[in-house]
């Protein structure tokens, strides 16, 4: 789509697409992402909750069987339903966190907002798992558990996301997925890394300069694309693969926000991408096409379906709570009832983790967000703290 200025014809529709720029649209009434990205009336909350539930479904098979190959969609798509769901999280984060940066008044306000969205919830969750679940479920005597240095090392490593895969002494050692306390948290570290890379890019002025952004994004994106063609890039046990996968998904979200004036959103595009991606199954380019299809379909689902479905926004955002509480709930359930089937586990997991997620949102996460401005203002007064306005 070629930017044009001050042109008016009856046969075409022109839309405002950023400061001083208008984008072209043909006779078909196809909305562009920039038009849809107005206000907060969208389906992102619902999509995130469904993604968190999908991760819980995937882990229901793992925690019951201990066999990663039993998880849904692995045979049909080459990746598990949880894998696809986490990709959705990163695409959404790339888009919305870029928007957050562009609307933030300073580096400090952005960092404060991101920190308050991630850490209060994970800190309380870690305290809950360490002292409530751990004390009740450990195979050790309570005194031995509570005085073990490993208990407090877990608390620090997990709450800080320094090592989300740490273990607790005597906890869940007899489960099929032995000793794993919270198998969902490892992705959060990569999320934080993506935030840091984005913030540094914004601080250096890259996001505010379209040509500079394109000059850097094209070779970086091409490099990640080429890396995505390597089988090792999709080994879920390799750090290298995680960086390629999450970098691409988050990056697609960033690019979608930066070039939202040029991206039409229509169900035909979703169908076309699904067909192309399906035909590419088994080929080296398949994972990259899968990420692109996931991103485009996510934006269509976020903005096009409307009506009563939007009422979900009034309930709050329970996705993060489900994500960080579901796995400990599953490990507790399988410890208490080893004969659960995966579907029984899934139903019990949602029943157990949803109240925790609701409590987390209403009592921890949402109240914490009220501290964004006070903490950012306080941080601005600290001598020597990085607080320069974004370029």
Please choose, from the candidates 290, 314, 297, 293, the residue with its C-alpha nearest in 3D space to the C-alpha of residue 366.
314
- How many other CB atoms are found less than 10 A from the CB of residue 137? 18
pLDDT of residue 256 exceeding 50, the answer is yes
CB of 137 within 8 A of CB of 145?
Answer: no
> Which pLDDT belongs to residue 358?
97
pLDDT above 90: percentage of residues in the chain: 64
| Residue range 118-133, pLDDT digits in tens | 999 999 999 999 999 9
CA distance linking residue 361 with residue 120, whole number of Å? 10
Q: Is residue 379 exposed (0-12), middle (13-18) or buried (19+ Cβ within 10 Å)?
A: middle
| Residue range 341-381, pLDDT digits in tens | 999 999 999 999 999 999 999 999 999 988 877 776 776 66
CA distance linking residue 213 with residue 177, whole number of Å? 43
CA distance linking residue 360 with residue 354, whole number of Å? 10
Average pLDDT over residues 130-148: 96
CA distance linking residue 170 with residue 177, whole number of Å? 14
> Which pLDDT belongs to residue 208?
85
pLDDT of residue 28 exceeding 80, the answer is no
Supply the pTM of this predicted model: 0.88
| Residue range 288-321, pLDDT digits in tens | 999 999 999 999 999 999 988 998 888 889 999 9
CA distance linking residue 137 with residue 143, whole number of Å? 13
> Which pLDDT belongs to residue 221?
76
Q: Give the mean pLDDT of the chain.
A: 87
Q: What share of the chain is helix, strand, coil (3-state, %, to 5)?
A: 65, 5, 30
- Give the list of residues 6+ apart from residue 97 with CB closer than 8 angstroms, or none: 114, 194, 195, 198, 253
């Amino acid at each position: 789509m070629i930017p044009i200025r001050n042109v008016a014809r009856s046969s075409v529709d022109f839309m405002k697409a950023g400061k001083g720029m208008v984008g072209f649209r043909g006779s078909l009434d196809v909305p562009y992402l920039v038009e849809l990205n107005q206000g907060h009336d969208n389906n992102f909350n619902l999509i995130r909750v469904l993604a968190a539930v999908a991760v819980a479904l995937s882990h229901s098979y793992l925690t019951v069987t201990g066999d990663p190959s039993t998880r849904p969609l692995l045979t049909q798509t080459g990746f598990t339903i949880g894998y696809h769901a986490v990709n959705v999280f990163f695409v959404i984060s790339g888009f919305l966190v870029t928007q957050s940066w562009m609307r933030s008044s300073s580096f400090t306000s952005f960092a404060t907002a991101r920190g308050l969205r991630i850490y209060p919830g994970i800190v309380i969750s870690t305290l809950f798992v360490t002292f409530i679940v751990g004390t009740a479920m450990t195979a050790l005597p309570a005194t031995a558990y509570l005085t073990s240095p490993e208990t407090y090392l877990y608390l620090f490593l997990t709450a800080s996301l320094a090592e989300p895969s740490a273990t607790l002494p005597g906890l869940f050692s007899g489960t099929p997925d032995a000793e794993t306390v919270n198998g969902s948290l490892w992705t959060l570290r990569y999320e934080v890394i993506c935030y840091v890379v984005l913030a540094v890019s914004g601080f250096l002025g890259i996001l505010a300069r379209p040509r500079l952004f394109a000059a850097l994004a094209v070779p970086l994106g091409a490099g990640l694309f080429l890396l995505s063609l390597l089988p090792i890039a999709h080994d879920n046990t390799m750090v290298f693969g995680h960086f390629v996968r999450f970098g691409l998904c988050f990056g697609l979200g960033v690019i979608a926000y930066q070039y939202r004036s040029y991206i039409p959103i229509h169900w035909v595009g979703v169908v076309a991408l699904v067909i192309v991606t399906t035909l590419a199954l088994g080929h080296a380019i398949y994972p990259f096409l899968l990420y692109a299809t996931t991103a485009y379909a996510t934006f269509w689902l976020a903005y096009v379906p409307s009506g009563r479905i939007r009422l979900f926004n009034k309930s709050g955002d329970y996705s993060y709570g489900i994500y960080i509480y579901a796995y400990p709930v599953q490990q507790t359930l399988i410890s208490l009832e080893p004969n659960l089937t995966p579907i029984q586990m899934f139903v019990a997991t949602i029943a157990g983790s949803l109240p925790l997620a609701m409590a987390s949102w209403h009592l921890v996460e949402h109240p914490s967000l009220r501290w964004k401005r006070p903490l950012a203002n306080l941080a601005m007064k600290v001598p020597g703290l990085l607080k320069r306005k974004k370029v």
